[in-house]
Amino acid sequence: MWKGSNKFFRRGPWNGITYGGALESVHNSIFEVNFVNNEDELYYAFKMIDKSMFSMFVLNKTRSLLELLTWSQTTQNWNVYSYVPRDQCDSYGLCGVYGNCITTQFPICQCLEGFKPKSTGYRNWSQGCVRNKALNYSKLDGYQIYWVEIAGCYKFLGEQKYESRAMQGEMFREHFLYGILKLGY
């Protein structure tokens, strides 16, 4: 979703099972998710489980939300089933480069280990973070970071087939981490 000329929200990456982010991607009683990725096409679609149920996606300009609405025959009204963004951390690139958004922290934007805010202005995270010191490529030191979403960083696995859904997630993690290492951050 765009807000003016700025990217405001985007779904998380496909991990082989579901997309990151909200909108109840997989387990819900309203729709099934269909993801197709082959040599001819790449798309993501919804299939209604109950064909008698009506639903629609609406861009709510007033609240800056993408809402999934379902029709209630009982109340004769549209009800909000789900929406995005859910919280401030769903906003695209809120914490900038090398920043991590954590809704339970104050401030919600934090720099990754080894980084500091680029801007000295209070709560101005739009410019992200910079390294505390330059990298020393002769030393192979580093650290692991878990559950960090890197804006704009995707790696689709294409035609690869995996034996189980759990294995898909594991293989995605390996490919994703390999892709990040190759980026040379």
In a structure prediction context, what are the per-residue pLDDT tens digits for the chain, which is 185 residues long?
777 787 777 666 655 555 555 555 555 677 777 777 788 987 777 788 887 788 888 888 888 888 888 898 899 999 988 888 777 777 777 888 888 888 888 888 888 888 888 887 666 777 888 888 876 666 655 555 555 555 444 444 333 433 344 444 444 455 444 444 433 33
Of residues 114, 85, 82, 121, the one with CA closest to residue 98? 114
In this predicted structure, what is the pLDDT of residue 123?
64
**Which of 72, 71, 68 has the alpha carbon at shortest distance from 86?**
68
